[in-house]
Chains A and B, each alone.
Chain A
Amino acid sequence: MLELKHISFSADEKEILRDVNLTIDDGKFVVITGPNGGGKSTLAKIIAGILQPESGQIFLDGEDITNWGITERANAGISFAFQQPVRFKGVTVMDLITLASGKELTTAAACDYLSQVGLCAKDYINREVNASLSGGELKRIEIATVMARKTKLSLFDEPEAGIDLWSFKNLIDVFEKMHEEIQGSIVIISHQERILNIADQVVVIAGGKVEKIGPKEEVLPGLFGIDTGCRGMREGM
């Protein structure tokens, strides 16, 4: 279980998050949504340890991890898929998936992850994760690296962005399969209604605060009725 207590964060003298309290229960599928600039990505980075909160505490399974670094949190079972995946000269897709899994992988096993995210494995496995890959390809590889980690908490920051040629159904299948197989918690930052629709719990973050939280049946109808800046959620469907 992940608990965020009274988390606040500012950057350049601007308050990004203000007194955020949030609990992610084990095995839950949680989607965080809300307007751009509302603090969603900042919150995900604070959970992964990439950013340190100004105040507040973070607990993982009851242990205070607020002062833990990125590596410690990763090894404690937190994975994070970047909104804008990083490129590396010389590091191959195989290297990255092997590092993610934390053990030697057969090519077949690594290829399996790629196939699941809709990439023809043999075309990609030995490619470098560099500028020759498109944004959409990088996003899928990013998702594959988190799948390979099989951790108890997987965070995805707008995984659907840039995945234009691959149907949303496949992306949703990936998350559902992951949820079923790993039995861990999945937290996705998304604007997409189809992704919101598979959530156990929806969290709306706006203006640096948790504006609404609850089961999708409760939160979603209100979302489309109020002006939270989420009107784009129905786009691209």
Chain B
Amino acid sequence: MALSDLLKQLLSDVADLKDIPTEGAFNIRNNGKSEGRRSTKNIRIEPKENGSGLDIYIAPYTKNESVHIPALITASDVHDVVYNDFHIGEGAEVNIVAGCGIHNCGCDTSMHEGIHRFFLGKGSKVYYEEKHIGEGDGTGERIINPTTEVFAEEDSYLEMDTVQLKGVDSTKRVSSAKLAAGATMVIREKIMTHGKQTAETSFDVELNGTGSSAKLISRSVAKDESKQLFRSKITGNAACYGHSECDAIIMDQGVVAAEPEIKANHVDASLIHEAAIGKIAGDQLVKLMTLGLSEKEAEEQIINGFLK
């Protein structure tokens, strides 16, 4: 099976894959259909009976394996909805690379809605990356709405990096998690919007078990007339630790709103929220200009560092 150059490029941008991978488990979805799929001894990828998505089973105590499941859209006027469930066996350690790329050269809207559920078995560890990219010179909108639901059993660990830096006109990102005793979750989100784009992020984390912890770190840049909304809610129902941090740079007529909520239902719950929104500090620009950078170069450098 050969992929088109366009598909290869998108695949590379979204999942750092140059072509169909020669090893490891994967499923490549394009315009709602599978372009290729492989399971391995420890990672089984099975289509759901109703065809709505995939069940991905990671065998207990799997180590050092990865699974790629990028979703791509290369046509205009596509509305793709997929439900993928990840069942992570006890003690397994796995890297999961998802993400979505839309290349829309047409005038109609193309949209991807990916609903990912993670069922983390006891003591399992998941490193999850997702990149969202919009490309193409058509006037049709590129919309990506990812939903992530996490059910973390005792002592499991999820680290999630989610990045959307260009080309997505509208996004609603909804993440929720329920953590049992000793479970840990770290989410790092990086978003840059420009033009008239909009981005909404919502986190809802319940720390239900003793010793559970969550850290949410969001860094975003809103340029031109783009608008962003960051909502986070951490509920501490046990002796737990929760920390959310929203840092945003606004430029031009960009707008960013942060609506944090922390709720402690247990006397030993320790919850923190930090939020900072502002333009690039003038002294940062001046410092880099004294090193010989133009104002524009200094601005780029500061943003690149901020979103690195």
In the assembled complex, which residues on chain A have CB atoms less than 8 Å from the CB atom of B281? Answer: 86
Q: Mark A95-119, 1 if CB is under 8 A from B, else 0.
A: 1100110100000000000000000
Known: A90-B308, A91-B301. A75 touches B284 (CB 8 A): no
Knowing A86-B281, A88-B284, A89-B247, say if A74 contacts B289 (CB, 8 Å): yes
- B residues contacting A by CB (< 8 A) are 219, 247, 281, 283-284, 286-295, 301-302, 304-308
B-side contacts of A90, CB under 8 Å: 219, 304-308
Residues A199-229 near B (CB distance < 8 A): none
Closest to B284 in A: A86
Contact of A95 among B219, B287, B305 (CB under 8 A): B305
| Total CB contacts across the A-B interface at under 8 A | 61
Decide if B290 touches A99 in the complex (CB within 8 Å): no
User: Judging by beta carbons under 8 Å apart, are A99 and B301 in contact?
Assistant: yes
Q: How far is the CA of A88 from the CA of B307 in the complex (A)?
A: 12
A88–B302 touching, CB < 8 Å:
yes
Does B291 lie within 8 Å of A50, measured CB to CB? Answer: no
B288 and A99: CB pair below 8 A? yes
- Interface residues, chain A, with chain B CB atoms under 8 Å away: 48, 50, 69-71, 74-75, 78-80, 82, 85-86, 88-92, 95-96, 99-100, 102, 128, 145, 149
Whether the pair A89, B305 counts as a contact (CB closer than 8 A) is yes
Contacts of B305 in A (CB 8 A): 88-92, 95, 128
Q: Which 9 A-B pairs have the closest CB atoms?
A: A90-B305, A91-B305, A70-B289, A74-B292, A86-B287, A90-B306, A80-B290, A86-B283, A71-B289
Which of B283, B291, B301, B306 contacts A89, CB < 8 Å? B306
The CA of A82 and the CA of B282, in the complex, are separated in Å by 14
A82 and B285 alpha carbons, distance in the complex (Å): 13
In the bound complex, residues from chain B placing their C-beta under 8 Å from that of A100 are 291
Besides A74-B289, A128-B305, 11 other A-B contacts (C-beta < 8 A): A50-B290, A70-B289, A70-B290, A82-B287, A86-B281, A88-B302, A90-B219, A90-B304, A90-B308, A92-B305, A149-B292
Minimum Cβ distance to chain A for residue B297 (Å): 8
Knowing A86-B284, A88-B284, A90-B307, say if A74 contacts B290 (CB, 8 Å).
yes
Interchain CB contact under 8 A, B306 and A75: no
Select A102's contact among B284, B292, B294, B307, beta carbons within 8 Å. Answer: B292
Query: From residue B190, how far is it (CB to closest CB) to chain A in Å?
Result: 10
- Residue B290 contacts which of A79, A88, A92, A128 (CB distance < 8 angstroms)? A79
Q: A79 to B290, alpha carbons, bound, how many Å? A: 6
The smallest beta-carbon distance between B185 and chain A, in angstroms, is 22
11 contacts between A and B (CB under 8 A): A50-B290, A70-B286, A70-B289, A71-B289, A71-B295, A79-B290, A88-B305, A90-B304, A99-B288, A99-B292, A128-B305
Kindly state the separation between the CA atoms of A196 and B219 in the bound complex, as whole angstroms. 45
Cα distance, A102 to B293, chains bound together (Å): 9
A78 and B307 CA atoms in complex are apart in Å by: 30
In the complex, A100→B292 CA distance in Å? 8
In the bound assembly, the distance between CA atoms of A89 and B288 in angstroms comes to 14
- Taking the closest CB of chain A, its distance from the CB of B105, in whole angstroms, is 34
Nearest chain B CB to A56 CB, angstrom units: 21
CA distance A52 to B155 in the complex (A): 60
One of B286, B290, B292, B302 near A91 (C-beta < 8 A): B302
Q: Which residue of chain B lies nearest to A87 when distances are taken between CB atoms in the complex?
A: B284
A99, chain B: closest CB distance, angstroms = 5
Q: How far is the CA of A88 from the CA of B287 in the complex (A)?
A: 10
Q: How far is the CA of A225 from the CA of B308 in the complex (A)?
A: 54
B290 surroundings in chain A (CB, below 8 A): 48, 50, 70, 74, 78-80
Given contacts A86-B284, A89-B306, A90-B308, contact A74 B301 (CB under 8 A): no
Question: What separation, in Å, do the CA atoms of A95 and B295 have in the docked complex?
Answer: 17
- Partner pick for A71 among B284, B293, B306, CB 8 A cutoff: B293
Known: A89-B306, A91-B301, A95-B305. A149 touches B283 (CB 8 A): no
